[in-house]
């Protein structure tokens, strides 16, 4: 069985045995999406080794709960223990012993077949095609911002970085009817944004800024363009240590909010209704067998989402 495996010498296509995943759903991949995290993992982030991939749409081939068999699904990536203090406090996605699909302690989705607990699965509505459904995970991460920050329709919002995640964050934030700007040096990326997102910096400092630059400098840049008592949402997980001048955060009483995974069902609803159309982000779709090339392609700033099909 083909899989895109990250080993000590980097990513490679390997023939691996079919996973057993006892007590879990067996999923056949239909489409995978390459994310910045996959590229970071290839650089050594998290020290992960194993099958890459956490953005996927697939079909359940076997499951302990038979009603799932044959369903087209997407899946939440965090697999918590369910019994520790963090899980019981209602924060299972932060379970200290969790595994994370293709990121930590668990083989990922860039494989002909893989497994996930049934509790992680969400059925994809018929009207959502594979190439849209594969964006559920990053769209949910963008929606997480709206769970964390109250955005007013009168707010001025700036998203820094119009890459894969920045594109989705700008689209989601624009749903609030706030005035949303997107900032990126790459004009081709800005051109992909829907017309309701304004290209380039506003003249005033913003009520809310979102760092999707993926760069260690993004946080300071975003903070410097946030108004006093405004909020900076931090999406960048750059693993370099960033030199951050924090005295202005105190003087201006900024709030910096780290933001990660979000809700799948609302993301599916936005995709089903067409309120968010992620398809302009698709740069290419490649066979899983060309996964190593596809990773390289995704690392090129000229490209956004590169999809993998088995």
Q: Which residues bind a copy of itself (CB under 8 A)?
A: 85-86, 91, 94, 148, 204, 216, 219, 227-229, 234-239, 241-260
Q: In this structure, what DSSP letter does residue 192 have?
A: T
Distance, CA of 53 to CA of 43 (rounded, Å): 15
Point out which residues pair with 206 in neighbouring strands: 226
Please state the closest distance from residue 196 (CB atom) to a copy of itself, in A: 24
Q: 17 or 245, CB closer to a copy of itself?
A: 245
Please state the closest distance from residue 86 (CB atom) to a copy of itself, in A: 7
CB 108 within 8 A of CB 14: no
Q: 63 or 234, CB closer to a copy of itself?
A: 234
Distance, CA of 47 to CA of 45 (rounded, Å): 5
Q: 6 or 234, CB closer to a copy of itself?
A: 234
Please state the closest distance from residue 80 (CB atom) to a copy of itself, in A: 11
Please state the closest distance from residue 130 (CB atom) to a copy of itself, in A: 29
- Identify the CA nearest to 22 among candidates 115, 109, 98: 115
Strand 99-100 and strand 305-309: the pairing is unpaired
Other Cβ atoms within 10 Å of 69 Cβ, number: 13
Please state the closest distance from residue 99 (CB atom) to a copy of itself, in A: 14
Q: 47 or 243, CB closer to a copy of itself?
A: 243
238-275 burial, b at 16+ Cβ within 10 Å, e below that, comes to beeeeeeeeeebeeeebebeebebbbbebbbebbeeee
Q: 145 or 190, CB closer to a copy of itself?
A: 145
């Amino acid at each position: 069985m083909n899989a895109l495996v990250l080993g000590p010498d980097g990513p490679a296509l390997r023939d691996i045995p079919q996973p057993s995943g006892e007590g879990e759903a067996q999923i056949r991949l239909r489409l995978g999406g390459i994310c910045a995290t996959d590229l970071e993992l290839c650089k050594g982030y998290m020290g992960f080794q194993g099958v890459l991939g956490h953005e996927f749409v697939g079909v359940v081939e076997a499951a302990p709960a038979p009603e799932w068999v044959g369903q087209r699904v997407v899946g939440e990536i965090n697999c918590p223990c369910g019994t520790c203090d963090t899980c019981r406090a209602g924060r299972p996605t932060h379970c200290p012993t969790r595994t994370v699909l293709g990121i930590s302690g668990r083989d990922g989705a860039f494989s002909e077949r893989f497994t996930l607990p049934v509790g992680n699965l969400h059925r994809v509505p018929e009207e959502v095609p594979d190439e849209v459904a594969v964006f559920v995970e990053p769209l949910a991460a963008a929606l997480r911002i709206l769970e964390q920050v109250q955005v007013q329709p009168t707010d001025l919002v700036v998203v820094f970085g119009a890459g894969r995640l920045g594109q989705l964050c700008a689209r989601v934030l624009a749903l609030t009817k706030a005035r949303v700007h997107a900032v990126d040096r790459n004009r081709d990326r800005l051109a992909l944004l829907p017309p309701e997102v304004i290209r380039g910096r506003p003249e005033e400092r913003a009520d809310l800024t979102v760092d999707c630059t993926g760069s260690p400098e993004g946080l300071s840049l975003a903070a410097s363009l946030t108004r006093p008592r405004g909020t900076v949402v931090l999406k960048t997980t750059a693993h370099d240590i960033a030199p951050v001048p924090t005295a202005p955060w105190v003087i201006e009483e900024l709030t910096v909010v780290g933001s990660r995974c979000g809700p799948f069902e609302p993301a599916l609803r936005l995709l089903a209704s067409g309120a968010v159309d992620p398809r302009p982000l698709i740069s290419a779709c490649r066979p899983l067998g060309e996964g190593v090339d596809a990773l390289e392609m995704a690392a090129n700033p000229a490209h956004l989402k590169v999809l993998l099909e088995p």
